[in-house]
Structure 1
Amino acid sequence: MAYQNTPAPRLTDGAGSTLPLLAYLAIATVLMVADLRGGFAAQARQHLSMLAEPVWWLAAAPGRLMDGGRDMLSTRASLQAENERLRRELQVNASRLHRLLAVAEENQRLRELLGGTRGYRLNAQLAGIIDVDLDPSRQRIVLDAGSMQGVQVGQAMIDAGGVLGQVIEVTPRHSTALLLTDTEHAIPVQVARSGLRAIAYGTGRTDRLRLPSIPQSGDIRVGDRLVTSGIGGRFPAGFPVGVVEALQPDETQLFVVAEASPAARLDRGVEVLLVSNVIDGVDDGPPLPPPPAPATGEDGASSAVPGETAGAAVDEQREAEGE
């Protein structure tokens, strides 16, 4: 049997395959040291990312298109729902407006039948508070408007909440007003819900009014709103006066006494409105003459309660009680 001679491996063959590996290792080492010293890899990655940004943008374009389409569909659906809701609200408001117009026409016909306030409008004048009476037994304020500004005795005084009181003294540049809660003040009021008429008296407390002599059969409840009735001509009708807080029988057990909290902010604010009725169609004319000024005693106190401010309301209330 003959054997073939196989050549023995040479040392140069193994060295030839190892040299490229060593070269790669050396190049990698040099690159790592250069990157560590100079940060070349970070700069290269930054430039490469800038070059690859268009590719990423194109790759993300289908997802953006899907999100945009989904948002467009949802926005359109929400807009359609909101449009439908607004259309329903418009129909409801239109029906309410027609009803209010009908009520206004009916109110005008009733006013014409009563012959009362037709032909009159409200005149308002702004005045500032410059002084407050510190006497605990009197609740009065001094205003920076007087007869030179057209202020007259008997004008009603209101703020954003409701009736504050009335003017009782006037000088050329200033005027004095009696607050609603002064013990010498009374105002004809009406229950907004039932139309029951009564008179609200001041108690000396800024948070309390008193309505005595209400018939047991009178339709008044806790929480009822009180507004000016317009009786007497001094306070225009319809202004808020207060809210009923409590009801209790009087000493005779024949009548009910109501306590109310004023609607106006009596202990806050620096400006008030002086209001009065004027003839409709007169632009710059003076307001209608108020009722006669309340008589003052020797000590200067006003007798507004027994005066003509609440006289007509007292007579009508007595007639109702007699019935």
Structure 2
Amino acid sequence: MAYTGNASGSLFAEGGAGTLKLLMYLTMALVLMVADHRGGYLDAVRAAAGMLTGPLYMIASSPARLVTATRDQLASQQDLLRENRELREQLLRGSARMNRLQAVQIENQRLRDLLGGTRGLQLSVQLAGMVDVDLDPFRHRIVLDAGQQRGVRVGLAVIDGAGVVGQIIATTPMNSTAMLVTDPSHAIPVQVVRSGQRSIAFGTGRLDALELPNIPLSADVQVGDELITSGLGGTFPAGFPVGRIVSLQPDDTRLFVVAQAHPAATLERNGEVLLVWNTGIEDTRDEMGPPAPDAAPTAASPSTGGGP
């Protein structure tokens, strides 16, 4: 019994002190609440406490904010990389389309230039492609993909968009061979546009040079004069550009002048050429394709006898 009584007294003593402290704290809390509510005396205390705890909150939240910023940065970088890749692909596709359009435009302009050389003249034309080139120093020849089956015959003039290329010298059923104006054995009657002076332009074996020998000293010929076909001989229709005179020098006898001319045709860059021939006054068609039998007969055949 004595043990139990001592224990209860001691516990009651401790409980009484604790209850007194609790009542005191509650009373202070109520006083502070009423004072803060009525007069706002604790606002300065809260502001000071916020200034002290603000850095702590920032330090505590910095790992989360760092993770969020890193994730956003990675996402933005991935978006930029994806957008950059898409734009690069679009640029490549656009460049490919642009190159194709430019190639088509160049091809169209080249064909316009080819056909433009015969505009306004009573000529028939036929487009032919080059399949082989022979440009050794002793002969300049090209092989075309048009032959007897397409009405090509020996003697037809060959031009490009800039001027005279040469003339047909041989044909087969599928192909034909043309001699270039720069071939050492080729000659073409020409006329000076400015003065009307006529001469003969010979090939020199060089793609960039023609020679006009035996020009009289009194002839009205100057450096820079344009040369065109004169139409003499009937092989080359009149009026096609042949070249431009680049130099004049007296020959060994000092009685004549020798002129050097630069060919008008782009002999080293041609891919397609035109075969041209004169048509009659009654035939003014200017169509692509095989020439009509009466306009450009096929390969020459032996004459046949017959009545008057």
TM-score normalized with structure 1 length: 0.55
What residue is the counterpart of 2:292 in the other structure?
Answer: 285
Q: Secondary structure in 1 aligned to 2:184?
A: coil
Amino acid at match of 2:49: A
- Amino acid across the alignment from 2:231: G
Q: 1:229 to 1:151 in 2, by over 3 A?
A: same
Alpha-carbon deviation of 1:214?
1.1
Please name the residue that 2:134 is paired with.
Answer: 133
Separation of aligned partners in 2, 1:279 and 1:30: 108
Q: Hey, what's the Cα distance between the residues in 2 that align with 1:208 and 1:250?
A: 17
Q: Which residue of 1 aligns with 2:172?
A: 171
Q: Residue 188 of structure 1: CA displacement?
A: 0.9
Task: Give the Cα separation in 2 of the matches to 1:287 and 1:152.
Answer: 13
SS of alignment partner, residue 133 of structure 1? strand
Match runs of 1:107-122 below 5 Å: 121-122=122-123
Summarize the Cα distance change of 1:122–1:29 in structure 2 as closer, same or farther, 3 Å threshold: farther
Does the residue aligned with 2:122 lie in a helix, a strand or coil?
strand
Q: Deviations over 1:21-48 (max 9, x none)?
A: 3321222444454455166xxxxxxxxx
Matched, 1:21 2:44: yes
Does structure 1 retain, via aligned residues, the 8 Å contact 2:188–2:202?
yes
Q: C-alpha deviations, 1:211-264, integer Å up to 9, x for none?
A: 011121212111211111222221122211111111011122121110011111
Go from structure 1 to structure 2 and tell me whether the alpha carbon gap of 1:286 and 1:278 turns closer, same or farther (over 3 Å shift). farther
Is the contact between residue 278 and residue 287 of structure 1 (CA under 8 Å) also seen in structure 2? no
- What amino acid is the match of 2:196? G
| Separation (CA, whole Å) in 2 of partners of 1:135 and 1:181 | 11
Gaps of 5+ in 1: 1-15, 40-118, 294-323
Residue-pair matches, total: 200
1:108-257 to 2 correspondences below 5 Å: 121-133=122-134, 135-257=136-258
Write the distance in 1 (CA, Å) between the matches of 2:278 and 2:250. Answer: 37
The range that moved more, 26-35 or 169-178, is: 26-35
* Alpha-carbon distance between aligned partners in 1 of 2:189 and 2:154, rounded to the nearest angstrom: 18
Q: 1:18 to 1:195 in 2, by over 3 A?
A: farther
Cα RMSD (Å):
3.0
Take 1:34 and 1:287, find their aligned partners in 2: how far apart are those partners? 104
Offset at residue 209 of structure 1 (A) = 0.6
Contact kept, 8 Å, 2:277 with 2:296, in 1: the verdict is no
CA distance in 2, matches of 1:193, 1:289: 33
Aligned to 2:87: none
Instruction: Determine what percentage of the aligned residue pairs are the same residue.
Output: 56
1:241–1:264 CA contact under 8 A, matched in 2? yes
Residues 192 and 34 of structure 1, relative CA distance in 2, 3 Å threshold: farther
* Whole-angstrom distance in 1 between the partners of 2:55 and 2:281: 97
Kindly indicate whether the alpha-carbon contact (under 8 Å) linking 1:277 and 1:287 is maintained by their aligned counterparts in 2: no
Cα pair distance change 1:287/1:243, threshold 3 Å: farther
More contact order relative to length (CA 8 Å, sep ≥ 6) = 2
| Mapped partners of 1:17, 1:133: distance in 2 | 108
DSSP 3-state at the match of 1:148: helix
CA distance in 2, matches of 1:287, 1:237: 21
AA aligned to 2:276 is V
The 1:120/1:209 distance shift into structure 2, 3 A limit, reads: closer
CA distance 1:29–1:134, change in 2 (3 Å): same
Q: Which moved more, 1:139-148 or 1:29-38?
A: 29-38
1:141 and 1:178 in contact (8 A); partners too:
yes
Structure 2 partner of 1:267: 268
1:182-226 CA distance string (max 9 Å, x none): 121111111122222111011112111110111212121112111
The corresponding residue for 2:112 is none
Cα shift at 1:133? 3.1
